Amino acid sequence: MAEKQDIAMNAFKVLTDVTYVYGEASDSSQGKIKKSDLLGALFQSRGEVPSNGYNYCSKSGVYDIVKGVSLPDGPTYGVEYGVLMNIVGRVYAAQVIFEAFTSQRILFRFKSETGVWYPWVTFSHT
């Protein structure tokens, strides 16, 4: 039986879609994860934005905004329904709101290295 030879990474074919992504585990062993599982881990649902406000979304992930007009730390005019994507890095953080229904705005804010959130910025279309 012929032995398979390793292929150099620069010789891999270019793909536009995959079933699995291969990587290294924390114990240095190699493995694979389904693309759908990887995306689920990256954009994990975290439930609703906490009632004490947007500043308390401490983990990266996707949060639901349900009747969120009066949530603390939100945009001044409020967002009633939508999705919050929260991205937390080692030093910085960012939040993006995709507002649902009539206005369909996109809102963004960024947290500095001092822990202070910048004001919300709104992108809208007409």
Range in 4-8, 21-25, 111-115 the model is least confident about: 4-8
Residue 68: which of 78, 58, 57 has the closest Cα? 78
pLDDT-derived band at 126 (thresholds 50, 70, 90) equals low
| 37 pLDDT above the threshold of 90 | no
Burial string for 8-38 (b: 16+ CB within 10 Å, else e) reads: eeeeeeeeeeeeeeeeeeeeeeeeeeeeeee
- Please report the pLDDT score of residue 86 as a whole number: 95
pLDDT tens for 39-78 read 777 778 899 999 999 999 989 999 999 987 788 999 888 8
pLDDT tens for 71-117 read 899 988 888 999 999 999 889 999 999 998 877 889 999 999 999 99
- Please report the pLDDT score of residue 77 as a whole number: 82
Residue 122: which of 91, 99, 89, 90 has the closest Cα? 99
Domain ranges for the chain: 12-40, 44-123
For residues 87 and 102, the answer to whether their CB atoms sit within 8 Å is: no
